[in-house]
Amino acid sequence: MPSAITHVVDASALIAYFKREPGHERVAALLMDERNNLAIHAVNLCEVYYGYLQSDGLDKANEAWENASMLLGILGIPPEAMTEDFVKRVGRWKAQKKLGLGDSFLAATAEEYAAVLVTADHDDFDPIQQTGLIQIDFIR
């Protein structure tokens, strides 16, 4: 597996994969391709966790966390990774593109690593795709 991150996964895509919702096949194909190295930012993993916690309870939330940790490289945010430039990039995505904070972290991470953003969220990311600022792979 390559060391460089090739894809940054949104909570919506990971939840679709885990719950076998429409689009889960696309995520499975990305995971099976050894040329790919998928990652999720800790902020977006938090979205997976609280989504499961709200809809399925604590046990399923913990299971989703563990499954994500085994499948993907988790991009934590240690102090040295939260550079001024990265935090400002998140802020620019939030202010200029009107994304939610989690989606702003997602977009900034994809931009930081020049990686493909993988999502099911057309509402927020269709307008972003049209700008060509980052590459987006919609799973459905």
Judge whether 132 lies within some domain: yes
Judge whether 1 lies within some domain: no
Mean pLDDT for the chain overall: 92
Distance CA 114, CA 61 (A): 30
pLDDT of residue 3 exceeding 90, the answer is: no
- Dihedral sign of CA atoms 115, 90, 131, 29 in order: positive
Inter-residue contact 79 to 87 (CB < 8 Å): no
pLDDT in tens, 91-137: 999 999 999 999 999 999 999 999 999 999 999 999 999 999 999 99
Domain interval for residue 57: 7-138
Distance CA 14, CA 74 (A): 13
Picking from 48, 39, 52, 27, the residue whose alpha carbon sits closest to that of residue 140 is 27
pLDDT of residue 1 exceeding 50, the answer is: no
Judge whether 2 lies within some domain: no
Residue carrying structure tokens 């190295």 = 37
Judge whether 131 lies within some domain: yes
Domain count, the chain: 1
pLDDT in tens, 28-76: 999 999 999 999 998 999 999 999 999 999 999 999 999 998 888 776 6
Judge whether 134 lies within some domain: yes
Residue 49 belongs to a domain with what CATH number? Answer: 3.40.50.1010
